[in-house]
């Protein structure tokens, strides 16, 4: 199941929509910002229904 959530890029501050795959459970992954192309660290916590998304700079 895919959900979408808007997040703010920690580098350039642009709002971007992320697609979240809740079927995989808790996840940490890196995706490049589609605007500034810098690597964003995503931390997704989910029980398959509700979720919490945190985004951080990779170098934090």
Q: Which is nearer to Zn ion, 4 or 13 (CB)?
A: 13
Shortest approach of Zn ion to residue 14 CB, angstroms?
A: 5
Binding range to Zn ion, per CB under 5 A, among 20-28, 35-43, 51-59: 35-43
CB of 26 to Zn ion, least distance (A): 24
Instruction: Tell me the C-alpha distance between 58 and 30, whole Å.
Output: 8
Smallest gap from residue 38 Cβ to Zn ion (A):
6
As a 3-state breakdown, the chain gives helix, strand, coil percent values, each rounded to 5, of 5, 60, 35
């Amino acid at each position: 199941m895919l959900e979408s959530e808007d997040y703010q890029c920690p580098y350039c501050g642009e709002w971007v929509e992320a697609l979240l795959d809740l079927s995989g459970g808790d996840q940490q992954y890196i995706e490049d910002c589609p605007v500034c192309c810098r690597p964003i660290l995503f931390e997704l916590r989910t029980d398959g229904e509700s979720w919490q998304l945190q985004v951080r700079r990779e170098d934090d």
